[in-house]
């Protein structure tokens, strides 16, 4: 009787303990799995004290959408880029250096590493991560994921083998590789990407830093707009916004933005117009270049337009490939986009219509912004008058005068 009682107690203990042990084991395994899943992707214990709450919140928001967006372990990034080797360096920007990498599945990636001294900082990093992850269009670069670990903040993009547009159109040895047919496709692709941002995406986006070096090219030379660190989100009811911190690249900034901090879809249209003139001419709008009496491409283009010499604006390699009336049409569109008054500029919907349909009648443009900036020699030195502003202005001047 005593033996049977002991066996019953033993069976009862086993019946109770075994399920509890199984549950405990499952719990431990789940915890270990979750920790491994987040290992390196968000090492929150090492976050900088100044940004820790924001970074913590950002990591959790990203993990919630991990099926669409990958949080990489920093060790994965190091391995993919060979410890950010010089051989893998693709270029440098205001944000930081960009490296080519390869994941274990042999997928090629472009890795943008936030420089610790970057003027953009965590706010712009977060802006790009949260913004571009929601955008899907053939003419926008695809953001695959990011890494936030300690002081390291990294963005991971699809790798585009043909670098950026400026690599081709401003180099005498490469400009002939981009004929008129391809330039026209690039122009239309950029316009379609901007139209999507302004009108057709789930959010209305003002890019604020559209320029040749931010147009990346895939293996077929299709354009993809990149670098959304300075982008702004608008509600459907907003027409324009303003800021006391003006950031952007010299030569591409609309006058109302540069001098008053006012930005809108029309400030992106201005940048597109500058870019269009650069694609047509193979010349930079600004920098250490001088066109006749003018300091920039806008004034030079306007002078040629008024004199009926718009063909002289075109890059030599495409002059024989483009019809005179088509050349006039594209220069006309570009000058309409860079008009001084934002109200006079077309929307991207109108620009796309003008680019894709010859039946659309184009109005004559007014003079462009900055067209009256001329070179004046004073004691053998060059004196330049530029707009002044009370805003906190951060201007990016790219290498080689970009």
| Average pLDDT, consecutive stretches of 10 residues, N- to C-terminus, the chain (402 residues) | 61 64 66 48 39 56 59 93 94 81 93 70 73 84 87 90 93 93 97 94 87 95 90 68 75 91 93 97 78 79 92 93 94 97 96 93 92 51 36 50 40
pLDDT in the model for residue 266? 96
Q: Are 167 and 174 in contact (CB under 8 A)?
A: yes
DSSP 8-state symbol, 125: H
SS3 content of the chain, % helix, strand, coil (to 5): 45, 20, 40
Tokens at residue 135, please? 């955008």
pLDDT in the model for residue 40? 39
> By C-alpha distance, which of 327, 293, 322, 291 is closest to 308?
327
Q: Are 149 and 41 in contact (CB under 8 A)?
A: yes
Tokens 């929150």 belong to: 44
Dump pLDDT digits (tens) for 208-260. 999 999 999 999 999 999 988 788 887 655 566 777 677 778 889 999 998 88
In 234-260, which positions are buried (b, 16+ CB within 10 angstroms) versus exposed (e)? beeeeeeeeeeebbbbbbbbbbbbbbb
Could you tell me the sign of the dihedral formed by the alpha carbons of 141, 144, 147, 148, in that order?
positive
The single residue of 209, 238, 268, 343 carrying the catalytic annotation is 209
Q: Are 286 and 296 in contact (CB under 8 A)?
A: yes
pLDDT in the model for residue 62? 57
Distance CA 58, CA 243 (A): 24
> By C-alpha distance, which of 7, 355, 373, 367 is closest to 192?
355
Domains and CATH numbers, the chain: 70-158 (3.30.200.20), 163-397 (1.10.510.10)
Distance CA 100, CA 110 (A): 5
pLDDT in the model for residue 130? 74
Distance CA 156, CA 142 (A): 9
pLDDT in the model for residue 129? 79
Tokens 């789930």 belong to: 202
Distance CA 270, CA 280 (A): 16
For this structure, is 209 an active site residue? yes
Tokens 């080797």 belong to: 85
Alpha helices, DSSP H, located in 243-312: 255-260, 265-281, 297-306
């Amino acid at each position: 009787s005593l033996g049977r009682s002991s066996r019953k107690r033993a069976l009862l203990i086993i019946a109770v303990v075994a399920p509890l042990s199984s549950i405990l084991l499952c719990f431990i395994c789940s915890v270990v799995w979750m920790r491994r899943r987040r290992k390196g992707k968000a090492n929150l214990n090492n976050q900088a004290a100044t940004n820790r709450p924001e970074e913590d919140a950002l990591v959790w928001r990203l993990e919630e959408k991990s099926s669409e967006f990958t949080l990489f372990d920093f060790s994965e990034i190091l391995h993919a880029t060979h410890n950010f080797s010089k051989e893998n360096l693709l270029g440098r920007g205001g944000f930081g250096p960009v490296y080519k990498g390869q994941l274990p599945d042999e997928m090629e990636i472009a890795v943008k590493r936030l420089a610790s001294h970057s003027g953009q900082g965590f706010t712009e990093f977060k802006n790009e991560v949260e913004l571009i992850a929601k955008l899907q269009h053939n003419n926008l670069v695809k953001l695959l994921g990011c890494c936030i670990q300690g002081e390291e903040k990294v963005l991971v993009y699809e790798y585009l083998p043909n670098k950026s547009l400026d690599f081709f159109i401003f180099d005498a040895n490469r400009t002939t590789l981009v004929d008129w047919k391809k330039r026209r496709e690039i122009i239309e692709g950029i316009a379609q990407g901007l139209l999507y941002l302004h009108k057709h995406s789930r959010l209305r986006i003002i890019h604020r830093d559209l320029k040749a070096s931010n147009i990346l090219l895939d293996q077929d030379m299709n354009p993809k707009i990149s670098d959304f660190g300075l982008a702004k989100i608008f509600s459907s009811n907003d027409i324009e916004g303003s800021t006391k911190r003006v950031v952007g690249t010299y030569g591409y900034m609309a006058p109302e933005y540069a001098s008053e901090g006012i930005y809108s879809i029309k400030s992106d249209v201005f940048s597109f117009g500058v870019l269009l003139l650069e694609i047509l001419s193979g010349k930079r709008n600004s920098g250490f270049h001088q066109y006749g009496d003018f300091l920039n491409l806008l004034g030079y283009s306007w002078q040629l337009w008024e004199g009926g010499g718009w063909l002289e604006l075109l890059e030599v390699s495409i002059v024989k490939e483009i019809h005179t009336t088509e050349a006039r049409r594209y220069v006309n569109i570009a000058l309409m986009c860079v008009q001084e008054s934002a109200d006079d500029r077309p929307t991207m919907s109108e620009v796309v219509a003008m680019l894709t349909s010859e039946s659309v009648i184009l109005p004559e443009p007014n003079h462009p912004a900055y067209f009256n900036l001329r070179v004046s020699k004073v004691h053998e030195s060059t004196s330049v008058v530029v707009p002044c502003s009370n805003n906190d202005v951060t201007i990016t001047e790219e290498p080689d005068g970009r």
